[in-house]
Structure 1
Amino acid sequence: MAIDFTLTSYQRRLQRIAREFASEILAPLVRAADEDDDPQRAFQAVKGAYIESYKLGFATGFIPKKYGGGGISNLDLQIVVEEICAVDPGFATILLVNGLALMPLVWFGSEDQKQKWLPQATSDPRGEYLAGWTVSEAAGNPGGTANFDGAAPYPAGIGLTATHDRKNGEYVLNGRKFWPVNAGGWDLGGADVNVCIVRTDPQAAGSRGLTAIIVPRGTAGISYERPISKLGHRLCQNNSVVFSDCRVPEENAFAIGDGDLVINKAFTWSGPVAAIASVGVARSAYEYALTWAKTHTGGGDQPIISHQVVAYTLAEVAMKVEAGRAFAWKAAHYHDLHNADGHAIGPMAKVFCSEMLFGAVFQAMKVVGVNALDRSLPLERYLREAAVFPLYDAGNLGMQMRKICAVMAHSDFDPRAIARSAATPFAKTAPPPEIQAVGKNLKLQA
């Protein structure tokens, strides 16, 4: 039978280990960390749990075995992520941003770069290794990151510039990043590495002038400001990072001129991950409300689940959880077939599940009633976490929907391809001719 949703013995064991970790090691830390007013202190409060997760392989399991990782499939990763996110999705983000940062090296880096940087990530004897995915930038005019691959030259699009000092064999970085996860590290002295997207050609379009570069901890010319205090995902760290004449060896650069492809593929890889993370939070809200409905009477003589409106509401939430899980698994399976090049289905799963989540949690809250607002109960936290998902991981109204539409608009797109798990087209975009002409004139003037 080709289509089978039954977990293998290995997958059941993986699920059990992830569930035990989440419930026994992580869960006791979550409430106090979430309520801490200091976001850096909240981040540090889960360092012990992170070290345990690192030992279990959850922090680098997606890296190929060749470089010391677990070589875990995208589908198997779904099982781990759901269990951890059912307890706290912010903590899971700390783990999974290692993938956003390091998987681009797997896809785009040279063999020398992989051998240098990936084994460091997978063999830290402390279990503290962190990688930062340092792409996002602050809002402004121009500012932000949603139009990173737009046709306009600098200062539109990515604003962190990297000037090539060929004489000294270095890139000199100047600018600022805002929102990257893990970038500041446990002590605000920097992650072990920050994989940054920089503009190496200020006069080229974003689809031509971007590059990825590895900035190791201890590099001079970087300062890490206090983390952002957020509505949800309070256990993970989001920084403002300032680069001032930061010099990085030129051999640390990869995907030169193809940084747009790095961004697109990384956020495509994370699509099914964010999708199943949404399912994990929705599952917890559903299970909490179901237990409440079976044990509370609302002042009547029977548990409130005996009322049709309550039962119907819970049934709707249950259906959404199951539909979301099926979609996330389908997208992950597609990524396993096509080397994470599901530039339509990955974003589809992320958008669908994250948009589903908020409504599912709010329906669960309506079942519980006004008590759902009590912060000693978990539902208000689930709602805060649900608000994060449509906005982060490339944003549903930003990059993710644009990628879906780019695939659909391609002349070779087959609308039935995803149903049969066939490859779908996605290519580097070229700037319009008039923008090319403007860029050419700017270069001549320079």
Structure 2
Amino acid sequence: MAIDFTLTGAQKKLQRNARDFACEILQPIVQAADEEPDTQKAFQMMRGAYIECYKLGFATGFLPREYGGGGISNLDLQIVSEEIAAIDPGFATILLVNGLALMPLAWFGSGEQKQQWLTQATSDPRGEYLAGWTVSEAVGASSGGTANFDHPDAAPAGIGLVARHDKGRGEYVLNGTKYWPCNSGGWDLQGANVNVCIVRTAEDKGGTEGLSAMLVPRGTAGVRYEQPISKIGHRLCQNNSIVFEDCRVPEENLFAAGDGDLVISKAFTWSGPVAAIAAVGVARSAYEYVLHWAKTRTAGGRTPIIHQQAVGYLLADIAMKIEACRAFSWKAAHYLDQHASEGHVAGAMAKVFCGETLFPVVFRAMQVMGVNALDRRNPMEKFLREAAVFPLYDAGNVGMQMRKIWGAMSDPAFDPRAIAQSRAMPFSKSMEAAGLRTP
């Protein structure tokens, strides 16, 4: 049978391992960490759980086997991500961001760079290795944000972290700020093991020509990591404010020269189905909690409220949307597996659709409980806070993901049946800068 949603024996084992970790190791520490007002301390409270994840292969399992990774498929990653996100999507994001940072190196890096940096990531004897994905910028910076990274104008439009080449010393000198990057500060705010930074290497060129990727290792002088941002949701992952002041990096740490835009687009394509299935995990937990509530609470009546038609219809609608979103997440991940993660439209569609669908699903679950959902002794408030993040983070739906879909659809080479028929649909620079270029 060509289409089959049945998990293999190996996938069932993977799911069981992820579920056991999530329930036995992660869940007991989540509430205290989520309620911790010190954002860096909350992140540090996850260190032990992260080490266990590293030992299980969840922190680097997506990297190629030849460099020590697990070489797992995007579809297998879905299985792990749903189980962990069902307990806490902020912690799941720590793992996801390792991929956002390191997968671009696997796609665009040289053989020497991959051997050095990917092998280092998969062979940490302490199991604490973190990679930072350092793209987003401060709104108050000369440019700001990430949404217009592919702006066709030269600086100051688009990315503002400038890397000037000092050829005499064989280095790049970085100046600028970043805001929102995840994992970048590391466990001690002295830096992740490596930060993969998107930098402007040609100030006179637009975002489709002037951007590159740069590896900034821990301990590099001229980088300051500030106190992590305090967020309403995904509180257990670290999002930093970072200042680069005459930060010198060896020129051999540069990769994807002039193609930093493609690095951004492909990285957020890879993460799209993962963010989508994480939304499924949160909605699943909200649904299962409320389903149990409806079967055991009478609300002053004679029978549990599950027997009320309004409640039954609400729960049926919730369950249908969760199943639909899981299927879409798996489909997108499968498409990426078929085409070496060149699934920019499929990945973006899954991320947008699932995030936008499942936020109101969590609120519907709260309506089943009524005012009791507002009581923080129940977990519904946290589910809602977490669900609110999905449309906004990981290349926000409005700012970047929808524009990526639009740009691809606008291109003469766009094939509207490619996803349905699993045909390759390469992404090119001509599909970027939608709405920013003069037609």
What TM-score do the two structures reach when normalised by structure 1? 0.96
Secondary structure of 2:133's counterpart equals strand
CA distance in 2, matches of 1:266, 1:347: 11
Structure 2 match to 1:388: 389
Structure 2 match to 1:313: 314
Structure 1 match to 2:238: 237
Structure 2 match to 1:137: 137
Secondary structure of 2:429's counterpart equals coil
Secondary structure of 1:244's counterpart equals strand
Secondary structure of 2:343's counterpart equals coil
Secondary structure of 2:181's counterpart equals strand
| 8 Å Cα contact 1:61/1:69 also seen in 2 | yes
- TM-superposed CA distance for 1:281, in Å, is 0.4
Report Cα offsets for 1:98-138 as digits up to 9, x if no partner. Answer: 00000000000000000010011001000000000000001
Q: Identity percentage over the alignment?
A: 72
Amino acid at match of 2:47: K
Q: 1:201 to 1:10 in 2, by over 3 A?
A: same
Structure 1 match to 2:291: 290
| 8 Å Cα contact 1:347/1:400 also seen in 2 | yes
Structure 1 match to 2:331: 330
| 8 Å Cα contact 1:406/1:426 also seen in 2 | no
- TM-superposed CA distance for 1:379, in Å, is 0.8
- TM-superposed CA distance for 1:399, in Å, is 1.1
| 8 Å Cα contact 1:207/1:430 also seen in 2 | no
Structure 2 match to 1:370: 371
- TM-superposed CA distance for 1:431, in Å, is 9.4
Amino acid at match of 1:28: P
Amino acid at match of 2:57: G
CA distance in 2, matches of 1:57, 1:307: 45
- TM-superposed CA distance for 1:142, in Å, is 3.7
| 8 Å Cα contact 2:40/2:238 also seen in 1 | yes
CA distance in 1, matches of 2:33, 2:119: 31
- TM-superposed CA distance for 1:144, in Å, is 1.4
Work out whether 1:4 is the aligned partner of 2:4.
yes
| 8 Å Cα contact 1:210/1:260 also seen in 2 | yes
CA distance in 1, matches of 2:83, 2:164: 44
Structure 1 match to 2:420: 419
- TM-superposed CA distance for 1:189, in Å, is 0.5
Amino acid at match of 2:168: K
Amino acid at match of 2:50: Y
Secondary structure of 2:164's counterpart equals strand
Report Cα offsets for 1:250-309 as digits up to 9, x if no partner. Answer: 000000010000000000000000000000001001001100000000110100000000
Report Cα offsets for 1:146-198 as digits up to 9, x if no partner. Answer: 00010111111101000000000000000000000000000000000000000
| 8 Å Cα contact 1:205/1:431 also seen in 2 | no
- TM-superposed CA distance for 1:357, in Å, is 1.3
Amino acid at match of 1:414: D
| 8 Å Cα contact 1:15/1:83 also seen in 2 | yes
Q: 1:336 to 1:431 in 2, by over 3 A?
A: closer
Q: 1:180 to 1:416 in 2, by over 3 A?
A: same
| 8 Å Cα contact 1:151/1:207 also seen in 2 | yes
Question: Would you say how many aligned residue pairs link Structure 1 and Structure 2?
Answer: 434
Unaligned stretches of 5+ residues in structure 2: none
CA distance in 2, matches of 1:321, 1:195: 34
Structure 2 match to 1:440: none
| 8 Å Cα contact 2:404/2:431 also seen in 1 | no
CA distance in 2, matches of 1:284, 1:99: 25
CA distance in 2, matches of 1:188, 1:425: 39
Report Cα offsets for 1:364-392 as digits up to 9, x if no partner. Answer: 00001111111121110010001111000
Secondary structure of 1:344's counterpart equals helix
| 8 Å Cα contact 2:408/2:431 also seen in 1 | no
| 8 Å Cα contact 2:40/2:227 also seen in 1 | yes
Structure 1 match to 2:31: 31
Matches within 5 A, 1:5-154: 5-140=5-140, 142-154=143-155
RMSD: 1.3
| 8 Å Cα contact 1:343/1:404 also seen in 2 | yes
Secondary structure of 1:429's counterpart equals helix
Q: 1:12 to 1:322 in 2, by over 3 A?
A: same
CA distance in 2, matches of 1:317, 1:254: 45
Matches within 5 A, 1:239-318: 239-318=240-319
CA distance in 2, matches of 1:241, 1:298: 51
Amino acid at match of 2:196: V
Structure 1 match to 2:222: 221
Structure 2 match to 1:186: 187
Unaligned stretches of 5+ residues in structure 1: 437-446
- TM-superposed CA distance for 1:425, in Å, is 3.6
Amino acid at match of 1:219: T
